[in-house]
C-alpha cells in the first residue's frame, strides 16, 4: 500500500496534478532524470541484476538455485535458508555458500549504473534484496545501501547470549576450508548476517524506508518482481 500510494502521488495517477513524465517510456524516464526535477533517485534491486555475473537467481525453473539443491537432501528447497533448519543442520547452507561466496564474481552494468547515479549526486539510496555484496564491490558505501536481506560482509554467533561479530575474511577462510564456522568464544555456530526465513528484516530497512520514499523523485526497480517472500527475490 505504501508503494502504491507513492506511485500514485509521484506519477499523478488519478489526479489532476502535472505529470512528471512526458511519456511512460525509457526515453521519457531518461529525459526526466536529466531534468532539474529529478535530484533524488531510489534504486530497488533483486537477483536479476546479478545473473549476468554468473550468480543464479533463486526461482527460475531449471536454472534457479532452488531447482538445483537435490544433492543436499533437503526436506524442501527453502529449508536451506530457514533459521530453524540451519541451527540443526548448518552443513547444507555452508556447502552451498562456497559456490556463490562474495569475491568470485564481478559487478554488472546494472551495479555500475547505480554507482553512476551516486557519482552524479542523484542516488538517495539503493535497496537491495541481494546478498552477493556486488553493490559494495561496484563502489557503493554502506550509507548508500539498505541490504534488505542482509549481507555476507559481517557474521555473528547465533547464540543470543554471545552474538560475537566476525569479518568477511574470517568467514571465507572457514567456508573454503570446509569447516563449520564455530564461535571462538562459546563454540556456537557463526552465521553470515543474511536474513533467513524466520528472521526479521534489518532495523535499517524500516528506518530508512519511512524517510527515503517521502523524499524520492524517482524509484527504479531492477531485477525483481517484488513478489518473492525471501532471499534475493
CATH fold match for the domains 38-54+107-149+196-232 and 56-104+157-194: no
- Pick the more confident residue, 208 or 231: 208
Residue extents of the structural domains in the chain: 38-54+107-149+196-232, 56-104+157-194
Query: CA 29, 114, 44 angle in degrees (round to 5)?
Result: 75
Does 157 show up as a binding residue in the annotation?
A: yes
The CB density around residue 34, as the number of other CB atoms within 10 Å, is: 9
Give the tens place of pLDDT for each residue, 119-134. 999 999 999 999 889 9
Residues 6+ apart with CB under 8 A from 62: none
For the chain, percent of residues with pLDDT exceeding 70: 84
pTM of the model: 0.81
Distance between CA atoms of residues 121 and 142, nearest Å? 16
Does 186 show up as a binding residue in the annotation?
A: yes
Report whether pLDDT(207) > 90: yes
Does 110 show up as a binding residue in the annotation?
A: no
Most confident of 22-26, 89-93, 124-128, 172-176: 124-128
Report whether pLDDT(167) > 50: yes
Residues 6+ apart with CB under 8 A from 117: 41, 43, 123
What pairing do the DSSP bridges indicate for beta strands 190-194 and 150-157? antiparallel
> Any idea which fold 56-104+157-194 has?
SIR2/SIRT2 'Small Domain' (3.30.1600)
Q: What is the architecture, at CATH level 2, of domain 38-54+107-149+196-232?
A: 3-Layer(aba) Sandwich (3.40)
The CB density around residue 165, as the number of other CB atoms within 10 Å, is: 11
Report whether pLDDT(233) > 50: no
Which H/E stretch holds residue 11?
none
3-state secondary structure of 6: helix
Q: Specify the pLDDT at position 139.
A: 97
Distance between CA atoms of residues 138 and 124, nearest Å? 16
Closest CA to 89 of 186, 182, 180: 180
Give the tens place of pLDDT for each residue, 101-154. 888 899 999 999 999 999 999 999 999 999 889 999 999 999 999 999 998 889
Report whether pLDDT(5) > 90: no
Give the tens place of pLDDT for each residue, 10-32. 555 445 456 778 888 889 999 99
| CB-side neighbour CA atoms (13 Å) of 211 | 7
Strands of the sheet containing 145-147, edge to edge, are 145-147, 123-128, 41-45, 218-222
The residues that are catalytic are 149
Average pLDDT of the residues in 49-77? 75
Residues 6+ apart with CB under 8 A from 64: 56, 57, 58
Average pLDDT in the chain: 87
Does 162 show up as a binding residue in the annotation?
A: yes
Length of the chain: 233
- Pick the more confident residue, 8 or 164: 164
DSSP, residue by residue, 43-89:
EEE-GGGTGGGT---SSSTTTSGGGG-GGG--SSGGGGGBHHHHHH-
Amino acid at each position: 500500500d505504501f508503494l502504491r500510494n507513492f506511485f500514485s502521488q509521484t506519477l499523478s495517477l488519478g489526479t489532476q496534478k502535472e505529470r512528471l513524465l512526458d511519456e511512460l517510456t525509457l526515453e521519457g524516464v531518461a529525459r526526466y532524470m536529466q531534468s532539474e526535477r529529478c535530484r533524488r533517485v531510489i534504486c530497488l534491486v533483486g537477483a536479476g541484476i546479478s545473473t549476468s555475473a554468473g550468480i543464479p537467481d533463486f526461482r527460475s525453473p531449471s536454472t534457479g538455485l532452488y531447482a538445483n539443491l537435490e544433492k543436499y537432501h533437503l526436506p524442501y528447497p527453502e529449508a536451506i535458508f530457514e533459521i530453524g533448519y540451519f541451527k540443526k543442520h548448518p552443513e547444507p547452507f555452508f556447502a552451498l555458500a562456497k559456490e556463490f561466496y562474495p569475491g568470485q564474481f564481478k559487478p554488472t552494468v546494472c551495479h555500475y549504473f547505480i554507482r553512476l547515479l551516486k557519482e552524479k549526486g542523484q542516488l538517495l539510496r539503493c535497496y537491495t534484496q541481494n546478498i552477493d555484496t556486488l553493490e559494495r564491490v561496484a563502489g557503493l558505501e554502506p550509507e548508500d545501501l539498505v541490504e534488505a536481506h542482509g549481507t555476507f560482509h559481517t557474521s555473528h554467533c547465533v547464540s543470543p547470549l554471545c552474538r560475537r561479530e566476525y569479518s568477511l575474511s574470517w568467514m571465507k577462510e572457514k567456508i573454503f576450508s570446509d569447516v563449520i564456522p564455530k564461535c571462538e568464544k562459546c563454540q556456537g555456530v557463526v552465521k553470515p548476517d543474511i536474513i533467513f526465513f524466520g528472521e526479521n528484516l534489518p532495523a535499517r530497512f524500516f528506518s530508512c524506508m519511512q524517510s527515503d520514499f517521502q523524499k524520492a523523485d524517482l524509484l527504479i526497480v531492477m531485477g525483481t518482481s517484488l513478489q518473492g517472500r525471501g532471499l534475493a527475490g
